[in-house]
Structure 1
Amino acid sequence: MKIRPTRFGLLLSLSFLLLTGCGGNSAETAQAPPPATTGSANQAAPPRPASNTVLFFGNSLTAGLGVEPEQAFPALVGQKIDSAGLGYSVVNAGLSGETTAGGRSRVGWVLRRPVAVFVLELGGNDGLRGLPLSATRRNLQAIIDTVRQLSPGARIVLAGMQIPPNLGEDYAREFKQLYVELASKNELTLIPFLLEGVGGVARFNQRDGIHPTAEGHRIIARTVWQTLQPLLRQPSEQPPGRP
């Protein structure tokens, strides 16, 4: 599996624990965009859209901060895709420190070419920083809308996240629920909790208590694969509301 060893620069400077909740024949790491000038089993593979790319769009969890590129969960999912003979390639467009606002500003750059599957993993940094959930919701919706516009044949997978109750039980509960609501509203495929079995488990996280170890990424890859594998085996179709 080929990996383009590009690293993103922004380091996540958070000091408290993210608890319950935070390819094909090649796997690549997307390069960072230019600085923004404004705000921020071997079954036969089914028919696919023109693109055969699975793009992971997220923050340091997706980027694999603190582990080798080939140990990060997108690359591990790419290996599973290879083993299943599904013929998709994986691109890792994770950026350490990314918020939903940052993701909203760069998603158009990332989608210069259409993709078959867009895995959206953002919001954890918003929650850990206590940013308004209304803004997080708007930004995630804008990213979803941009994907639908620029890559209308893409299936969108939303990675659900959870945060510890440091900022209050209500905030943590509403944060978790916004992923469920966005997935329902937009008819997306939802991974209920990306860090299931990893978040808050010390042996699966690095010393900062936030970023998974290589073993933690293997668990995340299995979680993602449970959702992604059946999706990749389905015949392609237009997203909801599209002709």
Structure 2
Amino acid sequence: MQNILKFRYILIVLLIFSCGEGPKKNTEPKPARTPDAVTRAAITSEEKTILFYGNSLTAGYGLDTEEAFPALIQNRLDSLGLNYVAINSGLSGETTSGGLNRLDWVLNQDVDIFVLELGANDGLRGIPITETRNNLQAIIDKVRLKNPDTEIILAGMQIPPNMGQQYTDDFRQIFPELAKKNDIPLIPFLLEGVAGRPDLNQDDGIHPTAAGQKIVRDNVWEVLKDVIQEERVLLQ
């Protein structure tokens, strides 16, 4: 119960869009649950904040909130005795443009580590590569302008070749190029080991199951743990 209460989920998942338009079904997957609200005042000054900023992959579309990878990260942090609080700011259907538009409100709180997971919906909808890249760069710039000390991690994404092989290749390169340009850590592919596996995805073939989310957690943790270690060294 303590883990659930410590985990903050600040935006209700909207089901207007999914992460991409999967196969039509007779019933919609249930949205992620919102746990008991915990006010920002409850976060002690000693706690450091990790904000996961993304779309339905972050929100845990079709699952209970505690099954989404940010909550699983919180469980791992707690098990290791690390005084961090994970905030799930995933919003189903979010594009990079939408993420840029709602960013100011999200940045009203102090953020120590900002995990940026956006772009999948852009790719599935065929949004121009330049627009997606510019929006992601603008988000990075805004986070740094708000607090230059915030550590940013970028989650890489890949898409099926529905929009043509050239678009698919160009889309994949957005993330390593931005990571290199901004000198920030990169999660090479958020869905590594999950994408394309029916046993680890829901019926839409896009959103991970609870078991798939555990693999996503490990993909994120592989990069996040090093950033946390660097933060702790700096504080010593």
| TM superposition score category, shorter chain reference | 0.7 to 0.9
Q: What's the Cα RMSD here?
A: 2.4
Match for residue 189 of structure 1? Answer: 185
Match for residue 31 of structure 2? Answer: none
2:21 is the counterpart of 1:14:
yes
Whether the aligned pair in 1 keeps the contact of 2:68 and 2:210 (CA below 8 Å) is yes
Q: Deviations over 1:43-83 (max 9, x none)?
A: xxxxxx97610000000000000000000000001111111
Q: Deviations over 1:173-218 (max 9, x none)?
A: 1101010100000001100000000011110000000111000001
Match for residue 75 of structure 2? Answer: 79
Secondary structure at 2:74's aligned position in 1? helix
Whole-Å separation in 1 of the counterparts to 2:134 and 2:211: 34
Give, as a single letter, the amino acid of the residue that structure 1 aligns with 2:17.
L
Match for residue 23 of structure 1? Answer: none
Quote the offset at 1:235 in angstroms: 3.3
Match for residue 102 of structure 1? Answer: 98
Matches within 5 A, 1:45-194: 52-194=48-190
Give, as a single letter, the amino acid of the residue that structure 2 aligns with 1:103.
G
Give, as a single letter, the amino acid of the residue that structure 2 aligns with 1:151.
N
**Segments of 4+ moved more than 4 angstroms:** 3-6, 27-31
- Indicate the larger mover: 150-159 or 121-130: 150-159
Structure scoring higher RCO (CA < 8 A, sep ≥ 6) equals: 1
Give, as a single letter, the amino acid of the residue that structure 1 aligns with 2:197.
V
2:209 is the counterpart of 1:213:
yes
Secondary structure at 1:211's aligned position in 2? coil
Cα distance, 1:208–1:81 mapped onto 2, change above 3 Å? same
Cα distance, 1:29–1:160 mapped onto 2, change above 3 Å? farther
Secondary structure at 1:54's aligned position in 2? strand
Cα distance, 1:184–1:173 mapped onto 2, change above 3 Å? same
Cα distance, 1:28–1:179 mapped onto 2, change above 3 Å? farther
What's the TM-score, normalizing by structure 2?
A: 0.84
Question: Please, which runs of 5 or more residues in structure 2 have no aligned partner?
Answer: 24-33, 39-44
Whole-Å separation in 2 of the counterparts to 1:28 and 1:151: 28
Whether the aligned pair in 1 keeps the contact of 2:22 and 2:204 (CA below 8 Å) is yes
**Matched-pair identity in %:** 51
Whole-Å separation in 1 of the counterparts to 2:207 and 2:154: 19
Matches within 5 A, 1:34-49: none
Whether the aligned pair in 2 keeps the contact of 1:56 and 1:62 (CA below 8 Å) is yes
Quote the offset at 1:15 in angstroms: 2.6
Q: Identify, as 1 or 2, the structure richer in helix.
A: 2
Whole-Å separation in 2 of the counterparts to 1:171 and 1:199: 19
Question: Number of residue pairs matched?
Answer: 211
Secondary structure at 2:208's aligned position in 1? coil
Whole-Å separation in 1 of the counterparts to 2:160 and 2:231: 38
Whole-Å separation in 1 of the counterparts to 2:57 and 2:169: 21
Question: Please, which runs of 5 or more residues in structure 1 have no aligned partner?
Answer: 17-26, 32-48, 239-243
Give, as a single letter, the amino acid of the residue that structure 2 aligns with 1:167.
M
Give, as a single letter, the amino acid of the residue that structure 1 aligns with 2:124.
L
Whole-Å separation in 2 of the counterparts to 1:151 and 1:85: 26
Secondary structure at 1:85's aligned position in 2? coil
